[in-house]
A and B are shown apart, each in its own frame.
Chain A
Amino acid sequence: MERPAWAPRSIDISVPSVARIYDFYLGGSHNFEADREAARKAMEHVPGLPKIMQANRAFMRRAVRFAVEQGITQFLDIGSGIPTFGNVHEVAQSASPGARVVYVDHDPVAVAHSRAVIAENPDAGVVAADLRKPQEILDSPEVQRLLDLKRPVALLLVAILHFVEDADDPYRAVAELRDALAPGSLLVLTHAAFEGIPLSQEQVQGAVDVYKDIRNPLIMRSHNEIARFFEGYDMVEPGLVPMPRWRPESENWDPDEEDPWAFSQFGGVGRTA
């Protein structure tokens, strides 16, 4: 018991939440004024934030489809947030009916919302847990019930690791999860970086500061640092690249048709040996 019982603790919706900010970027209304205010502030520095999030969703969608093509029917989405549309279970189950999906988030509101969304879906589950404590995720009843860890799983860490500070050792957490996965499992990952954003680092820093102010620091990592998360994985072609460049769906995909902001984060998929 970390805190005495008489110390008050409750959900404070006047404190911005990264999950609800993300929803706002995606045009959703699953958010409160405090979230919108923070989002608008960040967008003053980086106006393309909604496009970056949209690119994230698109990347995830392609990656899930890729996983299904590889024969994977189990998905563990950590940092799932508030799924407005195009969620993993929608994409996966439309491509492979009966695919199992477990969502994990540490934001109690996001968890409650996800529960409502998948209430009627017997093949999906939600876990209230923290990426920083992987064992709690793996030991959760939902993971135990829905996922067979002896078979390959697609582990999704989409737009989450840039919210884990080095002090919390995200590499150890990712490695611990990797060690629990069967050979042939996939790691689907996107991560924020200064590289690729069509702005100066100083300009981007303004948005980073907004996240710092709401006590959810955004940790920008370099390409090399992000690549280290794939330790123990064989990179799937084309490797860790700006998101739109990862396996575009159209053969005659034209990067010029993409929004320039979409190239702002790196995305990649690795496969366990």
Chain B
Amino acid sequence: MGLLPVRRRGADGVSAEPDGPEDRLRRFATIWSRAVFPVTSTSLTRAEFEGQLLPLARRLSQALLARTVDTDEGRAVGAALVTAHCTDPDALTRSLDCVDAYLVLYCGGEGDREDLRSRSARLQHAMAAGFAQALRERTLAEQEAIAQAALEAQGVVAQALHATEARFRAVFEGAAIGIGIADLDGNVLQVNDALLRMFGITDQNMRGRNVRGWIHPEDAPQTWTLYDELVRGEREHYHVEKAFSRPDGTVLWTNLTVSLLRDADGTPQYQLALMEDTTERRLLNLRLRYEATHDALTGLPNRTLFFERLEKALSAGEGQRFGLCYLDLDGFKTINDSLGHAAGDRLLVEVADRLQSCATAPGEMVARLGGDEFVALTTGPDTESEVDELATRIMNVLLAPVRIDGRELTVRGSIGIVEGPAGERGPAEVLRSADITMYRAKSAGGNRFELADPEADARAITRHGLTTQLPAALDRGEFFIEYQPLVHLGDGSVRGAEALVRWLHPQHGVLGPDRFIPLAEHTGLIVPLGRWVLEQSVRQAREWRERYGEDTAGGPLRINVNLSPCQLTHPGLVQDTVDILERTGVAPDALCLEVTESALIGADDDLLKPLRQLAEMGVDIALDDFGTGYSNLANLRRLPVSVLKLDRSFTQSMQQFPADPVDLKIVEGIVSLAHGLNLAVTVEGVETGAQAEQLRILGCDTAQGWYYARPGPPERLHELALVDATG
């Protein structure tokens, strides 16, 4: 196989003399490489591999022919085989076979065969030793290298792990929230500093603690159920608000989240607790809640808390009742006004303390609603009797005088009581009923308690309702005016009309002035309402004048408008009246303002001044309801009035025939007196023709009443006036 003595080119590309020593050497190397190549691991081609073997073959050849055999050369060649990656033992066997068979043959030259063979054998021994040593060294070096690499890799991984762990530890230790790890039996394994700070204990004291020992009276019912589910592996995490007792006896409140930690196979291993200290927030909340639900002055529960409790009491189950005492001190305003607010406050504090002592049983409470208004509530199945006892206790504790600034103050109060079953009424309704009842006690003289009465409530509620609806009614134009003609008794002609305001209430229908004027007086709404009535009436007067001119029998039609006491004292009365007259272009003498006699009782010059001003301008002033008050005849002289309106009580007896002679005398006397003072006399309530005739005989000037016309729309007056004019 290729051993022919041809001129050949070696792996180094140098040519050699055919069958010369160099050529023979190369042929040896070729045989060697062919023998060994299949068992090497080299990635070289066989030709390249042969190129690596050629210098080795040359060294063997030279060692073979040297004067003395240098076995080091054999060792070196053996070692070089290892370097050429002939690490398989077969590579050595095949090499030695090759050397044994071909070295002397191809490289021995002309030397003694026997000697050459012996030299070859020694070189082979040396090669084997060199190969073994080199392989051993290489193996050890590679083992060392790979061990070193494994160690380094371990170091790198450990370092990465360490860095991760260090990061986790920093998070664990530096976290602001408390972190703790326990096993599934509840044994605490590790906690961080934040948690120790929250608990106020040392790490030593924490070690060996068991989670189950942290039961606290304030624990929510489900707290430990959730815990059990978690450690049994039935729940991944839970979140609760939980209290812990600190060694110093204080309470730690936390927002606690507990999570189950599982291992890689999903088996539960640990429980992890994360907790946030909410103690201060909770205290703050409690304080804010306390402040929001208690009266700062007396420390009693306030309106908010009372309403909460009342609501609860009213929504209690069947068989549950409630009793409410609504207390208002009698004459407290006087104390405040005369002794000052500081004294008033101290009185309230003392009263609050006494009240508190009255309601100590479970289900009872006292609250201050504001000002000098207090409430006491009792709840349970037996409030029917209890509430009376409660009210009695309250009256009793108020008996002893209160000593303030060296003065003994007598305290009295009025109590309105509401008692009933839960589930029927709302808190607002109950409180209103109690309020109304309290006012009833007060109007009955005070220093007493009254029980709520549904009928009285209903009346009061309507009153209450109307009062609150009045302002909006004016805005919405729910008021209108009716006119009742004033007829001249002498000739029966219409001389004018009295304006009477009505309220077209959306629920209650048309309401007369008696139903709402007192309420309007009370709230002050009378002023704008009166101004509106005046303006409407004056406009109506102008309309009449425009339509009929001065043609009516008794001259131009006039308008009578009522003034309430409140309007009388209102500083804008004169100006308002002047403005309205000017704006509508109506002469003052077309207007007559009616003032009740009672409103002018004891009137001083200040009160009369605006009336005088109006009278001087030409506005007539009529004294209304004359004869119902004290009828101070002497007083008449100084009043700026020009008309007396006799109360209907004088004329009532004249509806029959014959009339009561006494009444006749009185009326006659009054008329005479009035005329003596240059006052005209108008009579109200004329219902029959006989009456009218009688009054005419007595000398009365004008009359109004159903006999002529009921109050009605302005058009009715036109008709009357026209009838009057024609016939």
Contact = CB atoms under 8 A, between A and B. Distances in A.
A116 B41 contact: no
Nearest to A54: B41
B146 A10 contact: no
Contact of B43 (A50, A61, A110): A61
Contact of A50 (B41, B154, B165, B264): B41
Contacts of B263: 7
A223 interface: no
A84 B85 CA distance: 10
A108 B43 contact: no
Interface residues of B, number: 36
B73 to A, nearest CB: 25
A180 interface: no
Given A54-B41, A61-B43, A257-B46, A5 B142 contact: no
Nearest to B140: A29
Given A5-B161, A31-B146, A32-B146, A26 B153 contact: no
A1 B85 CA distance: 44
Contacts of B481: none
B560 interface: no
Nearest to B146: A30
Given A27-B87, A116-B145, A116-B148, A108 B41 contact: no
B297 interface: no
B156 A5 contact: no
Interface string A192-220: 00000000000000000000000000000
A162 to B, nearest CB: 20
Residue among B40, B41, B45, B152 having the largest count of chain A Cβ atoms under 10 Å: B41
Interface string A148-182: 00000000000000000000000000000000000
B97 to A, nearest CB: 20
Given A10-B157, A10-B158, A5 B149 contact: no
Contact of A108 (B38, B45, B143, B153): B153
Contacts of A54: 41-43
A86 B42 CA distance: 8
A32 B42 CA distance: 22
A109 B87 contact: no
Given A10-B158, A27-B85, A112 B150 contact: yes
A89 interface: no
Interface in A1-27: 1, 4-7, 9-11, 13, 20, 23, 26-27
A4 B143 CA distance: 34
A109 B149 contact: yes
A249 interface: yes
Interface in A96-123: 108-113, 115-116
B149 A9 contact: no
Contact of A27 (B46, B47, B88, B164): B88
Interface in B131-174: 138-140, 142-143, 145-146, 148-150, 152-154, 156-158, 161, 164-165, 167-168
Contacts, number: 98
A13 B138 CA distance: 21
Most buried by A among B42, B87, B157, B158: B42
Contacts of A26: 41
Contacts of B157: 9-11, 108
A68 to B, nearest CB: 16
B138 A109 contact: no
Contacts of B161: 5, 9-10
A60 interface: yes
Nearest to B84: A85
A95 interface: no
A47 B44 CA distance: 21
Nearest to A53: B41
A5 B150 contact: no
B41 A113 contact: no
A29 B153 CA distance: 18
A113 B164 contact: no
A239 B143 CA distance: 39
Given A85-B85, A249-B45, A11 B143 contact: no
A7 B45 contact: no
A126 B263 CA distance: 34
A28 B45 CA distance: 19
Interface in B41-66: 41-47
A259 interface: yes
- Interface centre among B88, B149, B157, by most A CB within 10 Å? B149
Contact of A5 (B44, B85, B168): B168
Contact of A10 (B140, B152, B154): B154
Nearest to A1: B164
Contact of B153 (A85, A86, A111): A111
B448 to A, nearest CB: 77
Given A5-B164, A61-B43, A257-B46, A28 B150 contact: no
B146 A82 contact: yes
Nearest to A259: B38
Contacts of A116: 145, 148-149, 152
B156 A28 contact: no
A113 B145 contact: yes
Contacts of A20: 146
B184 to A, nearest CB: 16
Contacts of A271: none
Contacts of A82: 146, 149
A245 interface: no
B151 to A, nearest CB: 8
A11 B157 CA distance: 7
Nearest to B48: A249
A260 to B, nearest CB: 11
Interface of B: 38, 40-47, 85, 87-88, 138-140, 142-143, 145-146, 148-150, 152-154, 156-158, 161, 164-165, 167-168, 261, 263-264
25 contacts: A5-B165, A5-B168, A10-B154, A10-B158, A11-B153, A11-B154, A11-B157, A23-B146, A29-B138, A29-B142, A32-B146, A50-B41, A54-B41, A57-B43, A58-B43, A82-B146, A82-B149, A86-B42, A109-B146, A109-B149, A112-B153, A112-B156, A113-B146, A113-B149, A115-B152
CB-CB nearest 5 A-B residue pairs: A108-B153, A113-B149, A29-B142, A57-B43, A112-B149
Given A20-B146, A27-B40, A27-B41, 19 more contacts: A5-B165, A5-B167, A9-B157, A27-B85, A28-B41, A29-B142, A32-B146, A54-B41, A58-B44, A85-B42, A85-B43, A86-B44, A108-B154, A108-B156, A111-B153, A116-B148, A116-B152, A128-B156, A259-B38
